[in-house]
Amino acid sequence: METCGSMSPYWVKLNASNCFIGIINNVDCPENTTGLESSTVNLQLTAFAFMITQIPFSVVFGLALQDTENTFLLLCGGCSILVFLLFPISGILAFAGCMLILRDYPDLERGWSFDLCLASSILILIEIIITLIVTTVMGIRSSKRKSNGKPEESVEGKGSSKDGDTQTQSNSYGHSIMKFAQVAITNGAEAAKNAIGMK
């Protein structure tokens, strides 16, 4: 739809003589008739270039997935993914270009080329919204699963930490008792030696 809309001249009808102006060329218009505004043309051509770029990189990404050694996938797969990110941008640019048409030519009749580009941009925007909703829902579900699993882990962790603290305290008490007993035995032996010596 974007290709047909961008390449065809039936964007805006200027008068009753079926003079249509478009992005690239005009049809049934006098020779001195100018086309659409440059801002609209730039937005639509950029969106068209971004959309067309997806085709060869989709082929490249498909070939990269068939590579068993993953060397081609590492080289070209990453580039293809970056190019795929231009797809939502192209929809936004195309929609902005159509809105400029509505602003600059509010009283003139618009043709089917405009309708095609507007429909393609709206479809892309719908895909963006659906992707965001699905991503958000999946993120919420995964966070809920993690949060549901954390209390058990935290309880176990707390229990293990308490056990560790109790064991550490018992070890310190046992060590202090042993030290006290050792000191008491030493003092008792010295006291016995002194008593024997005095006798």
Look at residue 14 and tell me if it is in a domain. Answer: yes
Look at residue 176 and tell me if it is in a domain. Answer: no
Look at residue 74 and tell me if it is in a domain. Answer: yes
SS3 141: helix
Bigger pLDDT: 26 vs 71: 26
Look at residue 86 and tell me if it is in a domain. Answer: yes
Cα–Cα distance, 195 to 184 (Å, whole number): 16
Look at residue 90 and tell me if it is in a domain. Answer: yes
Look at residue 167 and tell me if it is in a domain. Answer: no
CATH number of the domain within which 112 lies: 1.20.140
Paired with 109 in beta bridges are 13
Look at residue 35 and tell me if it is in a domain. Answer: yes
Using the predicted structure, report yes or no on whether residue 105 has a pLDDT greater than 70.
Answer: yes
The whole model's pTM is what?
0.61
**pLDDT band, residue 104 (cuts 50/70/90):** confident
Residue 17 domain boundaries: 2-149
What's CA 136's distance to the chain center, in Å?
10
Q: Are 87 and 54 in contact (CB under 8 A)?
A: yes
- What the block records as the tokens of 101 is 């048409």
Look at residue 196 and tell me if it is in a domain. Answer: no
Of 199, 193, 2, whose CA–CA distance to 91 is shortest?
2
**Into how many domains does the chain fold?**
1
**pLDDT band, residue 199 (cuts 50/70/90):** very low
If residue 12 lies in a helix (H) or strand (E), which one and from where to where?
strand 12-13
Q: What's the confidence (pLDDT) of residue 72?
A: 60
Mean pLDDT on 88-113: 87
